[in-house]
């Protein structure tokens, strides 16, 4: 890695349809970072297994998330696109991190609490230790920057704590090996743009999510133009006109969400959008939002359908990416093995 090129890593789980939240909170930023960084984008199939997946569906979902990356503009030649399970160093480092992270740290993770719900006894142990694997994903490449949506902030903080504890617990051994004192960099989260937390179109208090049963709650990247427009037309709103300033969005989660989506899709701030639409009714705003969303998303959906049909191409991209990812991860993992005191 050249000194001035910082390394970006991020991942998306192949557990359902990619949606507008994934696009605005993550993938759109992945695309932009390609200009300035060396990027590694991963389909995190091992993370998907933390909740049971139908194996046939999982294969299809891995291909589809890959097609999503490519159709949004990620360049698999200039950067790296691959699926996690092809690079065994992720699992190898995750085990070491299982032994570095503390029970107390994982017990605080709100995503585990949300996903496990009331039936915690029956959650997989993988779901509990999932943030350790996520830290391994990032640090096995010594990535310095991690673009994610707001919901991943706490996991990123944990990854930083793991990197610090490892560097500290093994400080003497790191020194004895003649390696840099800060062996693992402390990765920076990149949570940027006006839509870091896109909410459900049916309920402004819930996150837009792959697991929400109602299809009307989210716009999928695969949706065609009519479906996108219909979902926006039917999106929940309140009866007031749009405010002229951002402060006026407080306590109006649905309005805030739609304005944030408009802003992110048109590369503006919410304040700029409100300058244009302040005082207007949703009946005027929604058709404009629908037109904008269709113009940005429908071509992505078409491209996704085209690429998804070509599984030979997708698998070639993933295996080429995995090989290049391994070439970065293997020597780092080799150092880690010596640092912790393994033989061989």
Q: Under the rule (CB under 6 A), what is the footprint of ligand AMP?
A: 12-13, 21-22, 25-26, 148-149, 151-152, 196-198, 207-208, 210
Q: Which does 249 bind (CB under 5 to 8 A by kind): ligand AMP, ligand TRP, none?
A: none
Cβ proximity to ligand TRP, 159 vs 242, nearer residue: 159
249: number of CA atoms within 13 Å, CB side?
Answer: 18
What the block records as the tokens of 34 is 């390609």
What does the alpha-carbon distance between residue 286 and residue 258 come to, in Å, rounded to a whole number?
9
Q: Does residue 148 interact with ligand TRP by CB under 6 A? A: yes
Residue 194 interacting entry, from ligand AMP, ligand TRP, none, C-beta within 5 to 8 Å by type: none
What is the contact mask toward ligand TRP in residues 154 to 183, using x (rule: CB under 6 A)? -x----------------------------
Residues labelled as active-site residues: 115, 207, 210
What is the sign of the dihedral through the CA atoms of 310, 314, 316 and 317?
A: positive
Measured in degrees and rounded to the nearest 5, phi and psi for residue 303 equal -65, -35
Alpha-carbon distance of 143 to 9, in angstroms, equals 6
144 touches which of ligand AMP, ligand TRP, none (CB within 5 to 8 A by kind)? Answer: none
Rounded least distance, CB 84 to ligand TRP, Å: 8
Closer CB to ligand TRP, 43 or 255, in the complex: 43
Of the pair 154, 244, the CB lying nearest ligand AMP is at 154
Residue ranges of alpha helices (H) inside 74-215 are 89-98, 103-107, 110-116, 125-139, 153-169, 171-176
Cα–Cα distance, 255 to 236 (Å, whole number): 9
Name 260's Cβ contacts closer than 8 Å, sequence gap at least 6: 194, 195, 198, 270
- Site size toward ligand TRP (CB under 6 A) is 13
The answer to whether 134 contacts ligand TRP (rule: CB under 6 A) is yes
Is 66 a binder of ligand TRP (CB under 6 A)?
no
User: Which residue of 18, 109, 138, 249 would you call a contact of ligand TRP, by CB under 6 A?
Assistant: 138
| Residue 11 is a binding residue for ligand TRP (CB under 6 A) | yes
Nearest Cα to Cα of residue 216 among 201, 229, 233, 236: 201
For the CB of residue 174, give the shortest distance to ligand AMP in the complex, in Å. 30
DSSP for 101-142, please give it: S-HHHHHT-HHHHHHHTT-GGGS-HHHHHHHHHHHHHHHTTT
Q: Is 44 in the site for ligand TRP (CB under 6 A)?
A: yes
CB of 197 to ligand AMP, least distance (A): 5
The C-alpha atoms of residue 263 and residue 277 are separated, in whole angstroms, by 11
Angle at 263 between CA 282 and CA 240, to 5 degrees: 25
For position 47 contacting ligand TRP by CB under 6 A, the verdict is yes
φ, ψ of residue 334 in degrees (nearest 5): -60, -45
In the complex, the smallest distance separating the C-beta of residue 190 from ligand AMP, rounded to whole angstroms, is 10
Closest CA to 29 of 163, 186, 157, 150: 150
Cβ closer to ligand AMP: 33 or 148? Answer: 148
Binding of ligand TRP by 23 (CB under 6 A): no
Q: How far is the CB of 175 from ligand AMP (least distance, A)?
A: 35
Residues that bind ligand TRP (CB under 6 A): 9-11, 13, 44, 47, 134, 137-138, 146, 148, 152, 155
């Amino acid at each position: 890695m050249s000194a001035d090129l910082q390394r970006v890593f991020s991942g998306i789980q192949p557990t359902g349809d990619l949606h507008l939240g994934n696009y605005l909170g993550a993938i759109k930023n992945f695309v932009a970072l390609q200009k300035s960084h060396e990027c590694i984008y991963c389909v995190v199939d091992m993370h998907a297994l933390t909740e049971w997946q139908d194996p046939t569906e999982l294969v299809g979902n891995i291909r589809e998330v890959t097609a999503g990356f490519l159709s949004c503009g990620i360049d698999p030649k200039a950067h790296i696109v691959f699926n996690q399970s092809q690079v065994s160093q992720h699992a190898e480092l995750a085990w070491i991190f299982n032994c570095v992270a503390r029970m107390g740290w994982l017990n605080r993770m709100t995503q585990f609490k949300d996903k496990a719900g009331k039936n915690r006894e029956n959650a997989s142990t993988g779901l509990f230790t999932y943030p350790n694997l996520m830290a391994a994903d990032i640090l096995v490449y010594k990535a310095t920057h991690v673009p994610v949506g707001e919901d991943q902030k706490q996991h990123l903080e944990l990854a930083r704590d793991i990197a610090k504890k490892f560097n500290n617990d093994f400080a003497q051994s790191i020194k004895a090996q003649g390696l840099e004192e800060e062996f693992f960099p402390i990765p920076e989260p990149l949570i940027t743009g006006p839509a870091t937390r896109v909410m459900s179109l049916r309920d402004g208090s819930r996150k837009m999510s792959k697991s929400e049963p109602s299809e009307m709650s989210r716009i999928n990247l695969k949706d065609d133009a009519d479906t996108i427009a219909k979902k926006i037309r039917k999106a929940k709103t309140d009866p007031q006109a749009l405010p002229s300033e951002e402060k006026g969005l407080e306590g109006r989660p649905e309005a805030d969400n739609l304005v944030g989506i408009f802003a992110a899709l048109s590369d503006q701030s919410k304040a700029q959008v409100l300058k244009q639409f302040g005082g207007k009714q949703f009946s005027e705003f929604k058709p404009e939002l629908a037109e904008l969303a269709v113009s940005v998303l429908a071509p992505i959906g078409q491209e996704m359908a085209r690429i998804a049909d070509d599984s030979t191409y997708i698998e070639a991209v993933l295996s080429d990416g995995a090989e290049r990812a391994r070439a970065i991860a293997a020597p780092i993992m080799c150092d880690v093995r010596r640092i912790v005191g393994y033989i061989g």
